Amino acid sequence: MEVKVCGMREPENVQGLIQEVKPDWMGLIFYEKSPRFVLDSSAEKLKGVPIKKVGVFVNEEIDQILDKVEKFDLKAIQLHGKESPEMVRELSNQTDCELWKVISVKEDVDWGLYKDYVPHINLFLFDTATKAHGGSGQKFDWEILKSYPFEKGYFLSGGLDEESVDEILEFAAQSPHLKGVDLNSKFELSPGLKNIQKLRNFKNHLMNSGANNHKQN
Ligand SMILES: O=C(O)c1ccccc1N[C@@H]1O[C@H](COP(=O)(O)O)[C@@H](O)[C@H]1O
């Protein structure tokens, strides 16, 4: 089970994350309306940090995305808006980054809307649908994922907190395509500043409970 910690931006906080939590991925949010928005002026300090970085974008132009890939040395691109399969295909032809397409969940998912993304992406990421697009701290009903029809792996997101570990493990036991979890606002001291202790507790609990033995796709 992989762990992504999203919404990072303060260099000291990032150092704490790398030394004490060691997640697989660190997310940087490039959506101006987010309280976790990362400025270009942070690129110098964040570019070389030894952790794989995911850039989070909402309905952004391809040129702008590729500019951030270069400036921040991103290894994955998380598309968190209404990006079309055509746009994702075009992007996949212009970058070696992994592509992660978000599916925002309300009450149900029409899986047919997502099949055209499958050939062009590395994974889906499920989050709760809200007007702010992400970072809501709200969970959705994971039961909806029982009908997940694709072979592609996915990440789970949306309001995950320290108390979610047992629920995640129970869910993972019946969900062979669950590849990772994405942690964000429930682990914050303030927007963009994470509580390292809480993140460490979560990761230790998850890993010591055998989640690293979970079958991955
Ligand atoms: O965190 C944000 O501000 C944000 C804004 C716009 C798009 C995505 C954003 N974050 C993503 O939201 C999910 C869930 O976060 P939370 O746990 O509910 O706070 C996560 O994938 C972040 O990458």
Q: What are the extents of the domains in the chain?
A: 2-213
Q: Residue 186 C-alpha to ligand 1 middle, in angstroms? A: 10
- C-alpha to C-alpha distances, 182 to 19, 26, 41, 66, nearest whole angstrom: 19, 9, 25, 23
Q: In the CATH scheme, what is the code of domain 2-213? A: 3.20.20.70
Per-residue model confidence as pLDDT tens for the chain (217 residues): 999 999 999 999 999 999 999 999 999 999 999 999 999 999 999 999 999 999 999 999 999 999 999 999 999 999 999 999 999 999 999 999 999 999 999 989 999 999 999 999 999 999 999 999 999 999 999 999 999 999 999 999 999 999 999 999 999 999 999 999 999 999 999 999 999 999 999 999 999 886 655 444 4
Give the tokens for residue 172.
Answer: 């993972």
In this prediction, residue 209 carries a pLDDT of 83
Atom 21 of ligand 1: nearest residue by CA position: 157
58 Cβ inside 6 Å of ligand 1: yes
Output the CA 134–ligand 1 centroid distance in Å: 4
Asked if 44 and 18 touch (Cβ cutoff 8 Å), the reply is no
